Amino acid sequence: MKQPYGVGITRKLFSKTAADLGFVTNNDVALAVSGDYLVLCRRLSSGSNYRVYNRFTGAYLRDMYYPFGAQISFQIAEDSKGKILATSWAPKNAKFIMYKYNSPMDATPVKLLEWTNNNPANTTLDGGVGRRVNVYGDLNGDAVIMATVGQSTTILRWRIAGGVLTNPNPEILTYQSITGAAHLGFYAEAQPVSTAANANYFINYQFEVGYVNGATQTRLMGFAADNQIYGTYHMPTNYTTFNNANYLAILKYTSASGNSAARLSLFDVTNTSLISTVYTSPVYPSFNVYVSPDELKGDTNTNGTGDVAIGFTENGERMQIYTLLTNAGIMAHEFTNYAK
């Protein structure tokens, strides 16, 4: 029987180890879903490599065209319609470039942006752009793209309207509610939740998972600071809507050191007042609706990298969530709208 709201019956589709997938130590860092395919971003010493897999079996199929030459890519992501956003890594004064693919078989992706990282916020430390990039919406319609700037409190925002980039130069945002450190670190994510001009967003970095006002850049509310909720570390983030509920998926690291083990954790954030729910609250299970029983486990993950990607069946009755842990592997889970 179908239920009117939220996830129902859940199952694990597959789990593939680093050895199964031929991972290169520390280099397999991002995922995207498109159609029946899962694309893995593998950064290399010169350029990167996009590897395409069957997303229901985990079988390797082919490589996707790589447009950046010798420039490294850390990040790929899917939009709401299954198109792929691929971006370059841009240290200070390098070019930050975005391409849009209609599918992993697209050999002529469209360049959306070429912007020189001129360090617009005068970041004194790393200042690189492109380690983590998040998108919400339809790249052929309306979308918001956000990228954090390394070792700063700066977030860059681009908007797409009617399939056209509206601002070749990014909006420069400064997160006002930083906690636990002076900056967001090298790896942080800002995940928009709408295509509005000042869309609210979730911010995820070492010391916080927070829900942020997109106009003022101040935290509206945040996850309770508890390792039982978000692990010893947390970073990859994805946001989606399924069966009338809004979900935030994160990778919850569970190893005491080395970032070498993690589980998928899925949160129902439809009612944003529940975001700060404590672990001991009787309503906590209605907030943290799923934690994968199995862990991804591998060798020491020096950079703490991984990713979360989300896809759907054509009829929208099933949602698949893919979790990547660098040096460990990929795990896939399926969620349905059928009552347990």
pLDDT band at 119 (very low <50, low <70, confident <90, very high): very high
| Whole-Å CA distances, 274 to 117, 121, 206, 288 | 38, 34, 21, 10
Q: In the prediction, which pLDDT does 167 show?
A: 97
pLDDT in tens, 171-216: 999 999 999 999 999 999 999 999 999 999 999 999 999 999 999 9
pLDDT in tens, 264-279: 999 999 999 999 999 9
CA 324 – CA 262 distance, rounded (Å) = 9
Extract the tokens encoding 253: 């690291």
* Selected residue with higher pLDDT from 337 and 235: 337
Q: In the prediction, which pLDDT does 37 show?
A: 98
pLDDT band at 258 (very low <50, low <70, confident <90, very high): confident
pLDDT of 340 higher than 90: no
Match 């390098």 to its residue by tokens: 94
pLDDT in tens, 72-96: 999 999 999 999 999 999 999 999 9
| Whole-Å CA distances, 324 to 28, 60, 69, 145, 301 | 8, 15, 25, 21, 12
Give 133: exposed, middle or buried? Use CB within 10 Å, 0-12, 13-18, 19+.
buried
Give percent of the chain above pLDDT 70: 100
CA 26 and chain centroid, separation: 18
CA 229 – CA 17 distance, rounded (Å) = 25
What the chain holds in terms of domains, given with CATH numbers, is: 10-336 (2.120.10.30)
- This prediction's pTM: 0.97
Residues 239-257, mean pLDDT to the nearest whole number? 94
pLDDT in tens, 295-324: 999 999 989 999 999 999 989 999 999 999
DSSP 279: T
pLDDT band at 114 (very low <50, low <70, confident <90, very high): very high
pLDDT in tens, 7-45: 999 999 999 999 999 999 999 999 999 999 999 999 998
Q: In the prediction, which pLDDT does 257 show?
A: 78
User: What type of residue sits at position 48?
Assistant: S
Q: In the prediction, which pLDDT does 45 show?
A: 85
Residue 8 · residue 338 · CB < 8 Å:
yes
CA 250 and chain centroid, separation: 8
Q: In the prediction, which pLDDT does 244 show?
A: 98
Residue 189: beta bridge partners? 204
